């Protein structure tokens, strides 16, 4: 018997009340009942995105919305800055290339954050740059780029937008779309939104919509203008993922009950405890600089293969976490604590990491990292803090 636990940076755990909601009979997407539901979730999504703009809901993974965030705003031959400090930064580059966009790449060492000064200089050097593409939380390395600082760089430029992949950021930590003047913000269902994969969300600023008017790329399924017009009437251009929308309503109800800032505080507290626990156990964090609260990226200790850790976690302990990608394969392993997570997800994750390392022959004192997490997360410490 092997119980299964999900501590991967997506998909994440889905609360029972959401699973239950999604298991109710499918309603028809052109029935008034659906339009009412869609109106309610559209409204509540604005709160979560902290925007007065409409938030489009797409039946796709986050990458679909990322594609639309290139194809809807830029034309072949346009120039865009891509901040590439990981697997998902790289993806922005590939998307731009696919749509004939000329990429001004700012390469960042994996695990580090981008220096806004470099972006500032790249922008100043070339007034024709139409967009900057960046991750608020780079899931492959655990870094959180300084979105607020980057947004300030494009804020005053009428013809330049900042496009933020907030797939593992939105709902985890504070990304106030309107307050920071973020032009396009992309999120996905299977992260802090506590849903299965299958929905993407995207907010679009007025400036970005103006760019969209002039863009000459082809977009059919991910045609944001068409979706905007349909969704304004609580309809969708194409068949929506109905049960996912039903689940989304349940999620938004939970988020409202907890409150956005409390939600951020909970995940910050868990992430902090996990990072401290890892270090108390004598291990090293891979991420240097501003860590994303969505996940903890741990450097494989000397002599230990990070993939073996990932594999042992899954096969011996039933825990699905994540290994490293590309050149980080074997060098790191990643545990998430975003969405539907609490104290015991962190304690379980830390306990399992200690046990796996012991299994693999690494000298570790069992309970040391866990003890630190307990210390930081016990109710009395929280009250005192």
Residue 254 in the binding site for a copy of itself (CB under 8 A): yes
Nearer to a copy of itself, 227 or 345 (CB): 345
d(CA 129, CA 125): 9
Which of these, 366, 336, 246, lies nearest to 6 by C-alpha position? 336
Give the rounded distance of the alpha carbon of 151 from its chain centre: 18
Residue 325 in the binding site for a copy of itself (CB under 8 A): no
- The pairing of strands 200-204 and 79-84 is unpaired
Q: Which H helix or E strand runs over 56? A: strand 55-58
Is cis: bond before 11, omega within 30 of 0? yes
Shortest Å distance, C-beta 348 to a copy of itself: 5
Nearer to a copy of itself, 201 or 340 (CB): 340
Q: Kindly report the backbone phi and psi dihedral angles of residue 242, in degrees, each rounded to the nearest multiple of 5, phi listed first.
A: -55, -50
Which of these, 219, 182, 228, 241, lies nearest to 56 by C-alpha position? 228
Nearer to a copy of itself, 100 or 371 (CB): 371
Residue 380 in the binding site for a copy of itself (CB under 8 A): yes
Asked whether the CA dihedral 277, 171, 50, 251 is positive or negative, the reply is negative
Shortest Å distance, C-beta 189 to a copy of itself: 18
Shortest Å distance, C-beta 129 to a copy of itself: 42
Question: Site map for a copy of itself, 267-306, x if CB under 8 A?
Answer: ----------------------------------------
d(CA 237, CA 19): 26
Residue 151 in the binding site for a copy of itself (CB under 8 A): no
> In the numeric block, which tokens belong to residue 351?
């306990």
Candidates 48-56, 153-161, 301-309, 349-357; binding stretch for a copy of itself (CB under 8 A): 349-357
Residue 238 in the binding site for a copy of itself (CB under 8 A): no
What residues line the site for a copy of itself (CB under 8 A)? 1-3, 5, 23, 254, 257-258, 262-263, 266, 312, 316-318, 340-344, 347-348, 351-352, 354-356, 358-359, 365-368, 370-372, 374-375, 377-380
């Amino acid at each position: 018997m092997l119980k299964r636990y999900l501590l991967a940076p997506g998909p994440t755990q889905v609360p029972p009340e959401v699973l239950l909601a999604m298991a109710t009979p499918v309603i028809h997407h052109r029935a008034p009942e659906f339009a009412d539901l869609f109106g309610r979730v559209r409204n509540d999504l604005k709160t979560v995105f902290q925007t007065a703009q409409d938030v489009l809901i797409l039946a796709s993974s986050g990458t679909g919305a990322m594609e639309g965030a290139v194809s809807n705003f830029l034309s072949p031959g346009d120039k865009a800055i891509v901040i590439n400090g990981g697997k998902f930064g790289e993806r922005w580059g590939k998307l731009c290339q696919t749509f004939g966009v000329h990429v001004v790449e700012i390469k960042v060492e994996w695990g580090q954050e981008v220096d806004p000064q470099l972006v500032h200089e790249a922008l100043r050097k070339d007034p024709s740059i139409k967009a900057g593409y960046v991750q608020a939380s780079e899931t492959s390395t655990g870094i959180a780029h300084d979105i607020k600082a980057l947004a300030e760089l494009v804020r005053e430029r009428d013809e330049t937008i900042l496009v933020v992949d907030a797939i593992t950021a939105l709902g985890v930590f504070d990304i106030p779309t309107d307050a920071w003047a973020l032009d396009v913000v992309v999120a996905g269902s299977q992260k802090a939104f506590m849903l299965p994969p299958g929905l993407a969300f995207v907010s679009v600023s007025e400036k970005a919509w103006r760019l969209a008017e002039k863009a000459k790329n082809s977009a059919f399924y991910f045609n944001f203008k068409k979706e905007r017009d349909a969704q304004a009437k609580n309809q969708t251009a194409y068949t929506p993922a109905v049960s996912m929308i039903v689940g989304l309503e349940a999620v938004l109800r939970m988020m409202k009950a907890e409150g956005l800032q409390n939600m951020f505080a909970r995940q910050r507290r868990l992430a902090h405890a996990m990072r401290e626990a890892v270090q108390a156990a004598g291990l090293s964090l891979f991420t240097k600089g501003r860590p994303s609260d969505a996940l903890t990226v741990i450097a494989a200790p000397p002599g230990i293969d990070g993939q073996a850790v990932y594999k042992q976690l899954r096969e011996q302990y039933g825990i699905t976490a994540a290994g490293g990608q590309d050149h980080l394969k074997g060098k790191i392993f990643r545990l998430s604590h975003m969405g539907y997570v609490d104290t015991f997800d962190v304690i379980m994750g830390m306990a399992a990491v200690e046990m796996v390392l012991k299994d693999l022959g690494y000298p570790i004192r069992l309970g040391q990292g866990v003890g630190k997490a307990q210390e930081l997360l016990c109710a009395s410490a929280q009250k005192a803090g």
